[in-house]
């Protein structure tokens, strides 16, 4: 499943010369070097270990090569003159273990056994993500360079887990085969995850803390979970004694998974609406019927996968927030999420404000939250600060 590493860590890295003066940003931790910032050089295979040098030939950083991506080098380690670079095997092993340490320091596996173990650049392991689900690690590589460089990863993960973390399977997200459904726990709430077919396994781990936040305010309230996938927000709210929940997702298999998750937690389906339909259509019809909820959670997929999609994304967010505000009971909460790094915080908040005003309502921002702690952000890599979860009162 995992390819052999292209470049042995005992080999000398291939020298790569910068064309642009990026020494300062690289030393400050910028993990990406684009192809147009480099001088032309020899063709290198995906995953080749490279030494990035300044324009005058001084060693600056080590990383690995991606032959086809616009991001030609992902930086593993940088240093000034005289810096002694770490052996790559030692570096990877140490960072895998350190990433796990940071998670286990804050998680009780008996209460939460689904989390992100490795979060790429922010854990100083650029180009690789690893999610843990009740004994299984699901790996995602960002490009052919990362896939070639980090393989074979299974042995490294097992060594890092040791006796601290049960690990019976390591799966490649892009090469998954046969059935592998598991029951996981998130703050005591149970979910079924489909590791063979489900998008992100069936549970968006980055929203874990936001699910708990909403659940803490749901007692006795009605909640609408738009783009609800397998019911995460609604199920946490129902466990927290919400009066009623409604989950909307266009994918019928996701709604069926939500139903199974409600049953898994012994929740009353009579007070749980499950709607396999388009969220925009659902909201339009709900407005016509005069329906409203105490808490509305909008968690759509990315509306802007690329920079040139941002204008259309703004319009889509604005329309969504207009409709969502219209079905939020006066005094209720509108919780709006965006997972696109191309739409910044200020832009996103502006779409909420304008959409709510178009609905003839007001929205008072309480706070903007991000991803759960196991999805860290580093200052040198703002692209990693992608998730916005804005909570505010509608009047």
List pLDDT tens digits, range 18-67. Answer: 999 999 999 999 999 999 999 998 899 999 999 999 999 999 999 999 99
Residue 252 lies in a domain: yes
Q: Is residue 1 part of a domain?
A: no
* Same domain, residue pair 120 and 237: no
Query: Does residue 77 or residue 11 have the better pLDDT?
Result: 77
Q: What pLDDT score was predicted for residue 4?
A: 36
Name which of 10-24, 86-100, 206-220, 309-323 the model is least confident about: 10-24
The pLDDT of residue 200 = 61
pLDDT band at 2 (very low <50, low <70, confident <90, very high): very low
Residue 5 pLDDT? 40
The pLDDT value recorded for residue 15 is 95
- The two beta strands, 49-53 and 388-394, are unpaired
Residues 6+ apart with CB under 8 A from 201: 114, 131, 133, 138, 193, 194, 195
Structural element, H or E, at residue 93:
helix 88-104
Taking all residues of the chain, what is their mean pLDDT, rounded to a whole number?
93
Asked if 116 and 254 sit in the same domain, the reply is no
Distance of CA 49 to the CA centre of its chain: 27
What is the CATH classification number for the domain harbouring 134? 3.30.750.80
Q: 123 with 44, same domain?
A: no
Mean pLDDT of 196-204: 74
Query: From the candidates 241, 307, 335, 339, which is the catalytic residue?
Result: 339
Is residue 98 domain-shared with residue 150, that is, in the same domain?
yes
| Of 207, 129, 138, 215, the residue nearest 175 (C-alpha) | 138
**Domain around 46:** 14-78
Would you call 241 a catalytic residue per the annotation? Answer: no
d(CA 223, CA 228): 11
Domain count, the chain: 3
What is the model's pLDDT at position 342?
87
Residue 181 lies in a domain: no
Q: Is residue 180 part of a domain?
A: no
Do 281 and 322 belong to one domain?
Answer: yes
User: What beta strand segments (E) does the chain contain?
Assistant: 14-17, 32-34, 49-53, 59-65, 71-78, 114-119, 128-133, 136-141, 169-172, 181-186, 189-194, 222-226, 244-249, 272-276, 293-298, 328-338, 363-369, 388-394
- The CA-CA-CA angle for residues 236, 238, 241, to 5°, reads 115
Give the three-state DSSP class for 86: coil
pLDDT in tens, 264-313: 999 999 999 999 999 999 999 999 999 999 999 999 998 877 788 888 88
Question: CA 288, 361, 304: angle at the middle one, nearest 5?
Answer: 80
Exposure string (b/e) for 94-112, b if CB count within 10 Å is 16 or more?
Answer: ebbbebbebbeeebebeeb
pLDDT, position 6: 39
Q: Is 50 exceeded by the pLDDT of residue 149?
A: yes
In a domain, 234, yes or no: yes
CB neighbours of 299 closer than 8 A, spacing ≥ 6? 204, 207, 225, 226, 227, 228, 229, 233, 337, 339
Q: How many C-beta atoms surround the C-beta of residue 349 within 10 A?
A: 18
Q: Which of 78, 105, 120 is the last residue of a domain?
A: 78
Q: Is the pLDDT of residue 12 over 50?
A: yes
Q: Which of 175, 197, 217 is the last residue of a domain?
A: 175
The CATH number for 43's domain is 2.30.130.10
Provide CB contacts within 8 A for 328, sequence distance 6+.
292, 293, 294, 295, 296, 334, 361, 394
Q: Give percent above pLDDT 70 in the chain.
A: 95
Averaged pLDDT for residues 86-93: 93
Q: What is the dihedral of CA 275, 281, 285, 286, to 10 degrees?
A: 60
Q: Are residues 211 and 157 in the same domain?
A: no
DSSP state of 38: B
Pick from 170, 167, 166: nearest CA to 195: 170
Task: Let me know whether 243 and 324 are in one domain.
Answer: yes
How far is the C-alpha of 113 from the C-alpha of 107, rounded, in Å? Answer: 8
Q: What is the mean pLDDT of residues 134-159?
A: 94
- For the domain that residue 330 is a member of, what is the CATH number? 3.40.50.150
Inside any domain, residue 31: yes
Residue 177 is predicted with a pLDDT of 64
């Amino acid at each position: 499943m995992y390819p052999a590493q292209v470049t042995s860590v005992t080999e000398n890295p291939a020298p790569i010369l910068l064309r642009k003066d990026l020494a300062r940003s690289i030393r400050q931790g910028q993990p990406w070097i684009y192809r147009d910032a480099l001088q032309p050089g020899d063709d290198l295979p995906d995953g080749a270990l490279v030494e990035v040098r300044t324009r005058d030939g001084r060693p600056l950083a080590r990383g690995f090569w991606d032959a086809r991506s616009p991001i030609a080098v992902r930086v593993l380690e940088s240093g000034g003159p005289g810096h002694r670079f770490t052996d790559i095997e030692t570096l990877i092993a140490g960072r895998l273990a350190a990433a796990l340490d940071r998670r286990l320091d804050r998680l009780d596996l008996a209460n939460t056994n689904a989390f992100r173990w490795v979060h790429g650049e922010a854990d100083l392991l650029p180009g690789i993500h690893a999610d843990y689900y009740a004994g299984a690690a699901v790996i995602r590589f960002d490009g052919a360079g990362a896939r070639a460089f980090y393989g074979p990863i299974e042995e490294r993960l097992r060594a890092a887990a040791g006796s601290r973390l049960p690990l019976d399977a390591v799966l490649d997200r892009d090469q998954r085969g046969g059935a592998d459904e598991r029951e996981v726990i998130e703050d005591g709430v149970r979910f079924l995850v489909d590791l063979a077919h489900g998008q992100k396994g069936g549970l968006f781990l980055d929203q874990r803390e936001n699910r708990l936040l909403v659940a803490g305010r749901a007692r006795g309230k009605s909640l609408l979970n738009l783009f609800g996938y397998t019911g995460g927000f609604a199920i946490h709210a129902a466990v927290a004694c919400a009066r009623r929940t409604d989950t909307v997702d266009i994918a019928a298999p996701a709604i069926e998974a939500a139903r199974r998750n409600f049953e898994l937690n012994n929740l009353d389906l009579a007070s749980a609406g499950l709607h396999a339909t388009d969220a925009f259509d659902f909201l339009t019809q709900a407005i016509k019927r005069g329906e409203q909820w105490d808490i509305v959670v909008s968690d759509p997929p990315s509306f802007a996968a690329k920079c040139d999609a941002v204008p259309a994304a703004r319009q889509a967010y604005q329309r969504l927030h207009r409709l969502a505000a219209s079905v939020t009971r006066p005094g209720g909460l509108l919780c709006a999420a965006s997972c696109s790094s191309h739409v910044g915080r200020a832009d996103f908040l502006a779409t909420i404000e304008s959409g709510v005003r178009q609905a003839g309502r007001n929205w008072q921002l309480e706070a903007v939250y991000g991803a759960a702690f196991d999805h860290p952000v580093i200052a040198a890599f703002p692209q990693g600060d992608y998730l916005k979860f804005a909570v505010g009162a509608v009047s």
